[in-house]
Amino acid sequence: MDNFKQKFIKIVKRIWDAFVLFWQRKHLTQILLLGLLVVILGSILWFAFIASQANVQSLKDGLNQATIIYDKDGDVAGSVANNRTNRVSFDQLPDHVSNAVIAIEDERFYEHNGFDIKGIARAFFNNLFAGSITGGGSTLTQQLTKNALLSQEQTYKRKVEELFLAVEIEKAYEKEEILEMYLNQSYFGSGAWGIGNASKKYFNKEIKEVTISEAALLAGLLKAPSSLDPYKNYEKALDRRDIVLSQMKKLGKISAEEYENAIKEEIKLEDGGGSLIDRKYPYYMDAVLDEAINQYGLTQEEILTRGYTIYTQLDQNLQAGLESVYANNQLFPKSTGTQTVQSGAVLLDPKTGGVRALVGGRGEYVFRGFNRATHLKAQPGSTMKPLAVYTPALEEGYKYNSMLKDEKQSFGDYSPENFSKTYQGEVPMYTAIENSINLPAVWLLNEIGLQKGVNAVEDFGISVQEEDKNLALALGGMHKGISPLQLAEAYSTFANDGVRNESHIITKIVGPTGNIIGEYKGKSVRVTSKKVAGEMTSMLLNVVETGTGQATKIADLQIAGKTGSTQLPYKDISGTKDQWFVGYTPNLVGAVWIGYDQTDRNHYLPNSSSRTVVPIFREIMVKASPHIEKVDFPVDSINDRLQDSDTNNLNEVELKEQAEKLEEELKKAADKVEEKLKEEAPKWKEVLEKAKEDSSHLGDKVKDRLEDWLP
């Protein structure tokens, strides 16, 4: 055994010696070091190039501006920003304010050129021991860079970008300008952006009036403005103030006597007003912020403070019209109890998916509060029938006039009912849609197969939860529900020849230095064929012409649409919980929901959707009508098609009668000809006999003449 070990060790040693010799002969150490240096140098050059491309010279102007929102035509629609009118210049800052900030945030501020090697090294080892990026080591210039130009992610890549951009900023601005931008752009908690607003928020003072102790408290908030907010955590804020004062004393920014006086000073809070949000078209602007945050990875802080330019699909004419409808309380059902009847509506371009207008509520508005146009999750009721049942049925070969069962019946444990509690035995498909009859829809979904309905709904852009995969889906039975925006996007498929374009608000976001932060990339899905989409439009035109949506008819505007409502959970109360109408022209789709945020026995809608939500939709389209192109659908309604069919049938009867009359006249004429021929027959016989006799004499003469000629 020992001999085997010794032999094994010798073999391993020989292999190792051979490897070392090979490594030395090939100079692999030098090659690896050279490669590493090349990678490092290349990375440095790359980050330096990226930093040099940033237009940091425009940073100061950008931070002084609000985030501007542009509409679909490139016109300014409004702005989204904090009230930063209380900006302060460096000259307005007392020395003890700037000294407090520098002492606690960047004591070597006037010595470095954008980054501090000592601070970076200290932070690197702290992060190394912590096992993750915990921050630290950033100078004021780097913090300004992070807050104004970069994302908030904690990665080494972002730290390197931050470092190089900080150097560029140091080249472009004086130290005083950098400090001024930093203090005006920073968040100090309680909605206060910028140190000028913070002094008003906490002390009701101008910044030039704050004491050393108050300046130290403000400087201390920069580390964690929310958790150190003195209105919420007074003692923690004071502890942090004391740390700042101690650091100021240590660095010689204040004397021992000033330190003692500041420590003893009682901080008296007095709210002089914070930073309000400047907003126009509030619900639409909220939706812009939501999409920028959720789709493009920005933060609310970045949008409110960096002076972005955001291009949108907004149509200001349609938005103004929609808001005027929602300002008219007489159009909406009277509220009961303490709650207001709420509503949300969306207008969307089916050709692009661009959201042209939206309103997310009635009554008092709350900044980035509940937006019923986009956040709502309510059962869609009968508006689901064309999506889950009739579209896939047409694809399976059913026709608009296919007869569907309308009988009281159960499907396992599920026993749906018609709203009217009456049943006709069977009805054609277009009638079932026009009058929103429940049983034919459920029966048909069962016939074509539940999975086909589920697949169709998902193709229309609406996710179906596992618990929703049952026949109740035909009537809009869903646990979570949908929003007006989702419903409008789904129905845009019918207006766009079977193609669904993803709904979106933002087309492009540009940063304060001109760099493109994000840009919408179009996404479309072929949901159904052009033929099926046309058939659905023909039947949905009937809904408005003679069905449950008649109250939305407008003389010079063709509209197809569908009503929907959901039942109350109380058997002893007649009314509805949610009401919907979704309608469209060839170039505009709209969806409206009304109901209570919290439905109970005292808060519900007593009337049907035809008497409440449908007239609201009509008023929306009346306001929109002057601003959209009025074109007809390329298909006729079922009503028109049936009328044309009756006309064609009538023409066939007339032609048959005329043919029979002509036949009779021809028969009479033929009889007269026959009678005349009989009368003239003897005369014609004499003529024929005479001709026969003459021809005989002529033959004899010809024979005699031939005999004379021939020898």
59 pLDDT exceeds 80? Answer: no
695 vs 631, more confident: 631
Angle, CA 14 vertex, CA 13 and CA 20 arms, to 5°: 85
Question: Which ranges of 131-203 would DSSP assign to H, the alpha helix?
Answer: 140-149, 156-172, 175-185, 195-203
pLDDT score recorded for residue 187 = 84
Confidence of residue 300 (pLDDT cuts 50, 70, 90): confident
Is pLDDT above 60 for 110?
Answer: yes
* Side-chain-side CA neighbours of residue 593 (13 Å): 34
What is the reported pLDDT for 135? 40
CB contact at 8 A, 435 and 449 = no
Q: Which of 382, 483, 503, 610 is catalytic?
A: 382
Contacts of 257 (CB under 8 A, 6+ apart): none
Please return the burial class of 181, using the count of CB atoms within 10 Å of its CB with bins 0-12, 13-18 and 19+: buried
Stretch 187-194: mean pLDDT, rounded?
Answer: 84
Q: List the structure tokens of 450.
A: 């539940």
> In 3-state terms, what secondary structure has residue 45?
helix
Please name which of 58, 84, 52 lies closest in space to residue 148, comparing C-alpha atoms.
58
What is the percent of the chain with per-residue pLDDT over 70, rounded to a whole number? 79
Termini Cα distance of the chain: 151
Q: Which residue has the higher pLDDT, 247 or 23?
A: 247
- Is residue 523 within 8 Å of residue 352, measured between CB atoms? no
**Of 105, 302, 434, 545, which is the active-site residue?**
105
> Closest Cα to residue 453, out of 480, 471, 440?
471
pLDDT given for residue 407 in this prediction: 95
Distance CA 398, CA 429 (A): 9
pLDDT of residue 162: 66
Query: Which tokens sit at 434?
Result: 């026009």
Q: For 71-97, what is each residue's pLDDT tens digit?
A: 999 999 988 766 554 678 899 999 999
pLDDT tens for residues 527-580?
999 999 999 999 999 999 999 999 999 999 999 999 999 989 888 888 899 999
Write the pLDDT tens digit of every residue in 137-146: 588 888 887 7
Tens of pLDDT, residue by residue over 464-500, are 999 999 999 999 999 999 999 999 999 999 999 999 9
Residue 615 has pLDDT above 60, yes or no: yes
> Which residues partner with 567 through β-bridges?
576
Residue bearing the bigger pLDDT, 128 or 177 = 177
105 is catalytic: yes
Measured in degrees and rounded to the nearest 5, phi and psi for residue 180 equal -60, -45
Closest CA to 417 of 402, 436, 389: 436
Secondary structure string (H, E, C) spanning 61-84? HHHCCCEEEECCCCCEEEEEEECC
